Amino acid sequence: MILCFVRKPPFYPQSSPQVSINLRGKDLGGMAGFRGRGETDPIDYVENICENMHLFRKEDFLTGDQLLTEYNPEVIGDAVNHLIPQKANLILFSPVHMGKCPMKEKWFGTQYAVSDIDEFWSKLWDTDFPLNPDLHLPEENKYIATDFSVKKSTDLSTEYPHKILDTPQGCLWYKKDNKFIVPKAFICFHLVSPVIQFTAKNMVLFDTFVSVLTHNLAELAYEADVAQLEYKVVAKEHGLVVRVKGFDHKLPLLFQLIFDHIADFSFTPATFEMITDQLKKTYFNFLIKADTLAKKLQFLPLLHPCPVQFRVTDLPVNHFVCKVKSLHKGDANSIVTVYYQTGARSLKDYALMELLVMHMEEPCFDYLRTKQTLGAQLVRAQMVGVAAADLARLLLAVDSQLRGAQPPRRSQSRPAPTFDSAAMSPPLLANRRAGKS
């Protein structure tokens, strides 16, 4: 790797850097600087302008660090000509240097060593040695937008998205930007499948699929990220959600790239092993936290098994208690979670529940956390479910640690509690099943 970078690359002539490189940077700077710039915190904005006052002329205070307005090949060529081995400092970090660093810096006592570059390498770098063919300038970025015009539409402005397509295969909603009027678009595609929640195995396989897909897209979508386009692939309770946003000129290219890889999905055994190992660690780290386990535990006190459907299950009117031992033997925390399900409510009732929770938060925090020194979390009233099956819920969680408690040990005379496998869902998808309690 060092051999590739210490020699001045041949694609930078002595005095005439490629114009296309400058134009590419100019396009990116224009997008990131103004057309693609989001809201900035006022103090950061003021600080940035103050710094620019020391670097640019008065007329460039606002744009000097963002827009490339002047192309000067002499200045660029002079900077490149200073990138030579004789002026290079190489910093090497490796455990193989243990015991070979006699010097120690005074602040943290970090050991280090300083030496001249070996004569063999210095002589080699002075010659016309062959470069690695894999080191080259990137191809033209096809995701960089060049058309920033705002499309004219004859459609009437609407406050909410309206359905423009309805077929047996799916529906499409559209909302026009009536406020900011910028050439940007946001696309959200939800691929729904009931197969995902049939079994716990299906849910884990779905997690694996999304993780592998994200891994496969990372390198290919890098150019889109450079061009200020964003994407996200998310595993949701009812299927796969794909979101892309950015300048609409080249946004369809990124959207097409994602679905091409979904349609032509593939992976190597090494990739599969790496992803599954990561998921195992994620699942373990998720469930080992007692507070997370208390919130995500699926306890279904129903007379009959609850079928997996895209709806919320109305629990029987009764009082149920579920006591579970933490999966972390060394965790002395105890958590009590109280769940109230109120049934289907109107928007007004939901708003009143929000007000109730806001009114309860401060006195609950004061009594439980300040006076009783307990951990408390009051979850706001939430609407769960879809369509006419909406059910409002209120959840209160209180956690505490026994004073002087030792890490619990499994009793030999008392059997450990057992649970039905259907009672717990995979940790990442624990909230996806119907019939929460």
- pLDDT tens-digit profile of 124-169? 888 887 878 887 777 788 998 888 888 777 666 778 888 999 998 8
Across the strands, what pairs with 192?
239
For 91-114, what is the mean pLDDT?
90
Most confident of 17-21, 122-126, 131-135, 424-428: 122-126
Instruction: Pick the more confident residue, 401 or 277.
Output: 277
Residue 363 clears pLDDT 50, i.e. is over it = yes
Closest CA to 6 of 119, 121, 118: 121
**By the 8 A CB rule, do 398 and 376 touch?**
yes
pLDDT band at 25 (very low <50, low <70, confident <90, very high): low
Output the pTM of the full model: 0.66
pLDDT value of position 257 = 96
pLDDT value of position 279 = 93
Interatomic CA distance for residues 175 and 172, integer angstroms: 10
- Amino acid letter, 329: K
pLDDT band at 28 (very low <50, low <70, confident <90, very high): low
Interatomic CA distance for residues 320 and 423, integer angstroms: 14
Residue 389 clears pLDDT 60, i.e. is over it = no
Interatomic CA distance for residues 409 and 348, integer angstroms: 49
Residue 405 clears pLDDT 50, i.e. is over it = no
Residues 182-205 as b or e (16 or more Cβ within 10 Å = b)? ebbbeeeeeeeeeebbeeeebbbe
pLDDT value of position 401 = 62
Residue 87 clears pLDDT 50, i.e. is over it = yes
Interatomic CA distance for residues 309 and 289, integer angstroms: 29
Interatomic CA distance for residues 22 and 24, integer angstroms: 5
pLDDT band at 74 (very low <50, low <70, confident <90, very high): confident
pLDDT band at 410 (very low <50, low <70, confident <90, very high): very low
pLDDT band at 208 (very low <50, low <70, confident <90, very high): very high
Mean pLDDT across the chain:
75
Pairing of strands 391-401, 375-384: antiparallel
